[in-house]
Structure 1
Amino acid sequence: MNVRPSVKAFVIIGLVMLGIIAAIGSLLVYAQQEAFTNERTLLARSLALQASELRDVDPYTSLKLSVAAVHINADAASRKVLLESLLVLRREDLFSLNPRGARSVALSQDGHVALIEDADEIGVWDLSGMLDPNIEGEVEKRAKLEGDYGDVDVLALSSDGRTALVSQDNGTAVLWDLNNLAQPTRLGAINAGAASDADRRIEALALSRDGRTACVGDLDGNFSIWDLSVKTKPIRRSHVRLLGGRISSISLDADARLAAILTKERDVAIWDLGRHDNPIQLSRLDLPFKTAGPISISADGREILVGSSHRADLWSLADPAKPVHAATLDMPNKDLYDIALSDSGKISLFAGDGGSVPLWDLSSQTRPTNISSLKNYSQEVSYIAVSANGEVALTASPDRGATMWDLRDLPEMLEDPIGVACDAPDRLKITREEWTRYAGGADWTRYGGGLLGEDTLAACSIDWALS
């Protein structure tokens, strides 16, 4: 007997077939979307990598590629590359320095005056031309400090940039009046030990913000405090012989009431300098490593950073008599040579071996954040200085000389790097030739190529094309 399927069965079969077709269609769409997502991830990674490689030789192409990478896939790696590309455009190399590089730097608190030592001399530099909106000019070396400096690389500068203290090979440190940058005036001289000891090499100097107090340390462990109220006749207020021996570094808070002293690169002690005639050791840091490198105490005296191999450690000095370890900062550098802190403590910079200067935000004492790096050193950075507000940094490198970094719009870059980069979007157009070279076989029309009737792709509009 023949059984004819009912209309209801046909309907059911049809609905099942439609469901299958719809499911297959959804799977195909999902597969296509997944493939495009993977393409975008890989493309963004490739563009960011090439942006890093081009940063020094072609900074604007680097910026275009890093903007494109963030628009295509805004992950942390792409964003960091964009920040580094933006920072390189805020760099000013001081090319007139000795080609063998700079050895040491010091910076006034407003970032307008600098001392820079190279293999031949110590120069007095005026950076106002790059920073003051009322002055149109460039950075300029105004004078050099005469003296027997040799291999000494210990410099200090007062907050206003008007008093300099520079060590010499004969075991003394010379005071200079820089009120007229073009004509520095040599004032008095001091040494680390007793007044008659002028043959001990000075290893560490620190100058108070007002230029009225100096702290000096030498190879034999002599630590002295000097009153510079009358700079032509410095007066030694106290002298202590530290059992730890060689004094490698001295760091002062803003009021020169608290000092951190590093001896023999392994012992960090905190001293109360409230009475300059009777300094008192308050405590020692219980370091979690065998050797310490640079140290830097914050302006308010409530924190101290201590560097070592591949790390820096942040300590709380809320009670200077009882330092408390707060956090460890992981560093790419095997060796750290110098640390610079802004007055707010939000900006910290680390000089060392390798090709980068890590830039950290210490706003949270327990959760410091590595926000970016100053790049493009082929060897190392020896010394670093930063202005009180964190808006100007100065680095010394044996392979690049001295470099000034304009960080005035760093907060905006951290908040919205794309917004800062795309402030002038016309310069961030990628030609078809560039796209083929850097993006390979990726279809540029999918990313907005040629949409404006031109043979270009606007890096700042890729997000609009992808939406």
Structure 2
Amino acid sequence: MNDLPEARQTDPRGDARWRTSAIVLAVLLAVILVVAGLAWRHEHDRALAQERVALAHGLALHAADLRDAAPGTARNLSVAAVKIHSDEQTRAGLIDTLVWGRGSELTPDASSEVALSGDGRIALTGDIDSGEVSVWDLTTWLDPKVILKSDRVAALKGHKHGVDAVALSFDGRTALTGDEGATFVWDLTDPAKPIRVATLAGKRNTDSVRALALSHDGRTAMIADDAGDVTVWNLTGRSRPARLSVTRAHNSSVHDIALSADGGIAVTADNDGAAAIWDLAVPSRPVKSADLTLPKRPMMETAISADGRVVLVENRDQVEVWSLDDRSRPARTAMFEVPLGDMYDMALTPDGKTALLAGPSDSMFLWGLSNPSGPTRSAALKGYAREIYSVALGANGGVALAAGSGGVSLWDLRNLAEVVADPEEAACRYTGATLSKADWARYAGGADWSDYAVEGMDVLFVCSITPGTR
């Protein structure tokens, strides 16, 4: 008989359950900690991202304010904004800053009309006060190596009233100038020695010329007047022009007219908000091929591509893009808004891929139309403290002119496509752009200098900022 107390027996199943529970609890605790850490990290990253966006947008706004007074600082702030956070707003701001200084004052004289040859070398500007039209050779203006720019080379005189419209052929050798009673034809083969070769009389002496258009070769001219008539002229013999037709195009004054390169297609717009497409295959019998369905808004502007397939029509602060692949059935491909409130003039490059728009503002806007169904804003150009009446573009969009109450500005935009495609590369290619600590404190809204600058450095190399810093 064994008198020793019975040995305590353990339950192996209970120990297993305890160990399992402990492991589950540990795993759950680890998962909770990981999830909490990830949530904290996500919230932290989101907060930092919001800070970067706010900082970038703030720098871009300061850059916009400084473009006139301190263009170098404006450029550096614009670059920093894009480097810190690249989005549509900061990229557009950098592009605008980079092109801001491309403009120069051609003349301070108020002008209501401007025209430009295809190569951007010959320009016409109509003086509001004198009624004269100045002829400019822009060769020296487009050469950055030439410091002393040439003055106007000639003046077109003879109108008794203020000049209401001007037109220039693609090669710059034929010009039209029109006033209340007549349109003059000018030979500009030698721009410094213009010759008035003919007068195109209106149907009635009281018919004021509202708009003029020339085919690229200068052989076909169209005149639109206050009575709503459109007159087609053959200028093959410039000194002996032949009137081919007079057509009642609209019931009110024709506000604008545009002509394809070959003179075969025209678009007209009146003061009551109506626009029409005209087939000039037989210039002596123009045929209206279609009306454009538009909101009824007064005083529309219009433009047409060289091949006659793309038409722009403005309605105050909106621009409609139309395709004329089928002239009898124009198709609206896009519509976009321009922050002008109203629009006084537009220009379109012959290829139909770049438009320049201006109105009662100190700025005008370039839009890219390479994709007719998806127009994109390219850049804003600032040239005046007052409204802009008339604009013109060279054939490839490399030269732009703007005329208004503050004078005439010339813009060299020959590498604009490169700037728009990659503004960061364009800004940082040739310069070591920097911001000082003082500028950072002034414009960065309290953002920590050390989060973006190299430790120990007193300047911030903005082109070296890495997105996602911090």
Q: Normalising by the residue count of structure 2, what TM-score does the alignment of the two structures yield?
A: 0.88
Q: What residue number does 1:277 align with?
A: 284
Counterpart among 252, 255, 271 of residue 259 in structure 2 = 252
Q: What residue number does 2:183 align with?
A: 173
Relative to 1, partners in 2 of residues 1:441 and 1:174: Cα closer, same or farther, differing over 3 Å? Answer: same
Q: What residue number does 2:167 align with?
A: 156
Letter in 2 for 1:89: G
Relative to 1, partners in 2 of residues 1:20 and 1:284: Cα closer, same or farther, differing over 3 Å? Answer: closer
SS in structure 1 opposite 2:152? strand
Q: Distance in 2 between matches of 1:108 and 1:182?
A: 15
Letter in 2 for 1:437: R
Q: What residue number does 2:413 align with?
A: 407
Counterpart among 308, 332, 339 of residue 332 in structure 1 = 339
Relative to 1, partners in 2 of residues 1:324 and 1:464: Cα closer, same or farther, differing over 3 Å? Answer: closer
The Cα of 1:376 is off from its aligned counterpart by: 5.3
Counterpart among 408, 418, 426 of residue 424 in structure 2 = 418
Per-residue deviation, residues 179-203 of structure 1 (Å, max 9, x unmatched)? 222222222111232xxx4442111
* Pairs within 5 Å for 1:303-314: 303-314=310-321
Relative to 1, partners in 2 of residues 1:189 and 1:25: Cα closer, same or farther, differing over 3 Å? Answer: same
Identify which range, 176-185 or 11-20, moves more after superposition: 11-20
Structure 2 residue 328 is the aligned partner of structure 1 residue 317: no
* Pairs within 5 Å for 1:363-442: 363-375=370-382, 377-399=384-406, 401-426=407-432, 428-442=433-447
Unaligned runs of 5+ in 2: 1-14
Q: What residue number does 1:80 align with?
A: 92
| RMSD of Structure 2 on Structure 1 (CA) | 2.9
Relative to 1, partners in 2 of residues 1:423 and 1:257: Cα closer, same or farther, differing over 3 Å? Answer: same
Relative to 1, partners in 2 of residues 1:43 and 1:134: Cα closer, same or farther, differing over 3 Å? Answer: closer
Q: How many pairs does the alignment contain?
A: 454
> Does the 8 A contact of 1:220 with 1:247 survive in 2?
yes
Relative to 1, partners in 2 of residues 1:34 and 1:233: Cα closer, same or farther, differing over 3 Å? Answer: same
Per-residue deviation, residues 216-267 of structure 1 (Å, max 9, x unmatched)? 1221233211121222222212222445142221110010011112233422
> Does the 8 A contact of 1:205 with 1:216 survive in 2?
yes
Letter in 1 for 2:78: S
Counterpart among 145, 150, 153 of residue 156 in structure 2 = 145
> Does the 8 A contact of 2:126 with 2:163 survive in 1?
no
Q: Distance in 2 between matches of 1:50 and 1:134?
A: 32
Identify which range, 19-28 or 208-217, moves more after superposition: 19-28
Relative to 1, partners in 2 of residues 1:107 and 1:23: Cα closer, same or farther, differing over 3 Å? Answer: same
Q: Distance in 1 between matches of 2:373 and 2:39?
A: 47
Q: Distance in 2 between matches of 1:411 and 1:230?
A: 39
The Cα of 1:139 is off from its aligned counterpart by: 5.6
Q: Distance in 1 between matches of 2:360 and 2:42?
A: 47
Q: Normalising by the residue count of structure 1, what TM-score does the alignment of the two structures yield?
A: 0.88
Per-residue deviation, residues 418-441 of structure 1 (Å, max 9, x unmatched)? 000112222x21111111111132
Counterpart among 117, 127, 146 of residue 138 in structure 2 = 127
Q: What residue number does 1:460 align with?
A: 463
Q: What residue number does 1:114 align with?
A: 123
Q: What residue number does 1:97 align with?
A: 108
* Pairs within 5 Å for 1:11-22: none
The Cα of 1:417 is off from its aligned counterpart by: 0.6
Q: Distance in 1 between matches of 2:250 and 2:276?
A: 12
Relative to 1, partners in 2 of residues 1:439 and 1:105: Cα closer, same or farther, differing over 3 Å? Answer: same
Q: Distance in 2 between matches of 1:294 and 1:165?
A: 19
Counterpart among 192, 196, 199 of residue 182 in structure 1 = 192
Q: Distance in 2 between matches of 1:158 and 1:387?
A: 12
Identify which range, 72-81 or 351-360, moves more after superposition: 351-360
Q: Distance in 1 between matches of 2:29 and 2:284?
A: 95
Unaligned runs of 5+ in 1: none
Instruction: Please identify the structure whose Cα radius of gyration is greater.
Output: 2
Q: Distance in 2 between matches of 1:30 and 1:270?
A: 58
SS in structure 2 opposite 1:276? coil
Q: Distance in 2 between matches of 1:191 and 1:42?
A: 62
Q: What residue number does 2:270 align with?
A: 263
